Structure 1
Amino acid sequence: MQKQAPEKSVLEPNWSSWKRLRFSSVPKDVLGWLRDEGSLTRRVIQACAGDFRVRVLHQGWGAPLYSEGQVLRLRRGEITLVREVELLCDETPWVFARTLIPATSLRGPARRLTLLGDKPLGAVLFSDPHVHRGITQVARLQPRHPLFAAATPHLSRLPVELWGRRTLFYIAGRPLLVNEIFLPDIPRDEGR
């Protein structure tokens, strides 16, 4: 039986690999955040001179966006555990993160990911020797994109665009996808 993909949405950004991205189009103040291959949570904590915390906006079963389903190689109609959070510094959102975990990935050691609460996912992923990083893609998000809308309802003013990345991780060989959208109040990258 062949896998069928979810319906394609024209309202999604154009995700691309670093090799295909024109660096001149990426604002310099966010480029280092996008390119960093370490734990984003750890880097945000280091940059935050105040109180860091994770605010859970949503966690439950849901449908992936078309391109998310493609990256995860899901069949049409297959649902995932969707976790949406904000990484805050002094109660100001710096990053919106959307993680998708297929039900088939929530076996064995990955089951603990359903119980994170307000703990950062990055702390788990980057401390587990069974986790391997797959592809990373980057995109410019505009107000017409669903991820832009999901990332911005708590902002006092809407930006013209946002930049984000998404990374496919494997925990014990099973995939999960982490989208990280950089919000306007994240500090300027200092040439990292």
Structure 2
Amino acid sequence: MKRFYSRREPHWAPWCRFRHHQVPADIEQWLRDRGSLTARLKSASPGDFRVNLLRQGWARPLDSERRLLGMRRGGIAVLREVELLCGGVPWVFARTLIPARSLQGPARRLAMLGERPLGEVLFADPSMRRGVTQMACLLPRHALFVSATVHLRQVEAIWGRRTLFHLAGKPLLVNELFLPDIPASPS
């Protein structure tokens, strides 16, 4: 069966679907790491780490995001887009989607993070479960590429990953796109 992929979305796939030579060596460990990206960025940063909140509010997820979150067509989620800056330079663009049905109990606080790092909240919560992680190479024709690079110099492609997390049994999706100024990933 032939699958159709929207020109506005990249082809997301699990790590095992990529051949070693397909992924740039300088970004591979960033993509494969299963710990807190926030903690890893802080340890790799030569300067201050901070979160720059770009946008937060109710939105409709992209089709592949909606399916991964198990949402119905037309469903809404809290959308949070941020830049993770190290030494004042954006290293990562992150896009988080939290379905309306997930904003109950302890997950309610996620809708009010402001410029607090999501990773600090997720990885400190004993109820957090990490689900599937997918990778993709994003190109200028993809909607997420445009959102991530709108304030950057011309870029041909960026790599990213997205992970389905569960907090107190409720799903949320975190997209992390690695921007051109991020240093080669430490081993």
Q: Report the Cα distance in structure 2 between the residues aligned to 1:77 and 1:43, rounded to whole angstroms.
A: 36
Aligned residues: 183
Aligned to 1:74, which of 71, 74, 78?
71
1:65 and 2:82 correspond: no
Aligned partner of 1:169: which letter? F
Q: Residue 101 of structure 1 corresponds to which residue in structure 2?
A: 98
Percent of aligned pairs with the same amino acid: 61
* Unaligned stretches of 5+ residues in structure 2: none
Determine which of 130, 134, 149 is the counterpart of 2:131.
Answer: 134
Alignment of 1:1-192 (within 5 A): 9-155=6-152, 157-190=153-186, 192=187
Shift of 1:159: 1.4
SS of equivalent to 2:111: helix
Q: d(CA) in 2 for partners of 1:27 and 1:125?
A: 28
Partner of 2:174, secondary structure, is strand
What per-residue deviation string (whole Å, max 9, x for no partner) do you get for residues 89-129 of structure 1? 12110000000000000000000111111000000000000
Q: Secondary structure at the match of 2:134?
A: strand
TM-score by length of structure 1 reads 0.93
| Structure 1: stretches of 5+ with no match in the other structure | 1-7
Q: Runs in 1 of length 4+ with deviation above 3 angstroms? A: none
The CA deviation string for residues 124-154 of structure 1, in whole angstroms up to 9 with x for no partner, is: 0000001100000000000000000000111
Q: What is the letter of the counterpart of residue 40 of structure 1?
A: L
Letter in 1 for 2:21: S
Paired AA for residue 97 in structure 2: L
Alpha-carbon distance between aligned partners in 2 of 1:69 and 1:158, rounded to the nearest angstrom: 29
Deviation per residue, 1:63-99 (Å, 9 max, x gap): 1011101100111100100000000012110000000
Give per-residue Cα distances to partners, 1:28-48, cap 9 Å, x unaligned. 000000000000000001111
In the alignment, the residues of structure 1 paired with residue 123 and residue 68 of structure 2 have an alpha-carbon distance, to the nearest angstrom, of: 21
Would the aligned equivalents of 2:7 and 2:141 in 1 still touch at CA under 8 Å? no
Supply the RMSD in Å over aligned alpha carbons.
Answer: 0.9
Q: Assess if the C-alpha contact under 8 Å between 2:8 and 2:141 holds in 1.
A: yes
